[in-house]
Amino acid sequence: MRGYTNIPRQDNNIGFNGNFTYNYNPYIPIELELQKGMLSGGGLTVDKDRYGRKFTNNFLALYLHADVQLGAVIDYGNGWFLNVVKNFYLGSGIGLVRNNNTVQRYNILPNMGYPLPPDPGAYKFPGSDQSTNFSIPLRVGYEFKIFDSYNEPGWAIDIGYVHNIVFGEGLDGYDDPISKFKNNATNQYRQFTIGFKYFFGNTVSYNKLVRDYGF
């Protein structure tokens, strides 16, 4: 995962999530997702950030989202191509991100025109180390369904891309005034995801065959 904040340089990191899924039908899953991850960026030298800003955010996030796979809206019984693309999906939802930042809060580079720490006149970057922000995920991906001995979907491997729009200034912990810094973009972070799903519960009827034996 990688952040998009007012700190130009961002790192790539690994995150983890767990999902509880309710399948409204085989092609419309509704999921409650818990994420744990890290976002980081900036640096203490001019080549990494011209003001010496640096942050590490060990965050938790909770999302409720739904995906709509193409199989819910197309008749895929008439060709192999439609049977392949039926598992592509788009989705969105809403969530909360709990930020827990470690931030370089004072300027340590002389190019700002302020005295350097420990001088009491050193510039302190405004913002909060801990905060909670609303977020909207924009999701796209593909679900590989794996069928059990009853020819029902028993497992799945999900590969996707998620772009999270975060409302607030909490991802990097900096809330710099526009009069001093460029601070006009919404905080965001992205994820490339791969996940494993196990389906349990009762099997119910559906108006189309999930596994089409003709292709």
pLDDT digits (tens, 9 = 90+) for 9-23: 999 999 999 999 998
* 105 has pLDDT over 60: yes
Domain annotation for the chain: domains and CATH numbers: 2-198 (2.40.160)
Residues 157-193: tens digit of each pLDDT: 999 999 999 999 999 999 987 777 766 678 999 999 9
Three-state SS at 161: strand
Mean pLDDT (whole number) for 146-155: 80
Whether the model pTM is above 0.85 = yes
More confident residue, 152 or 94: 94
Give the pLDDT score at 150: 73
67-104 b/e with 16+ CB inside 10 Å = b? bbbbbeeeebeeeeebbeebbebebebebebebebebb
* 215 has pLDDT over 50: no
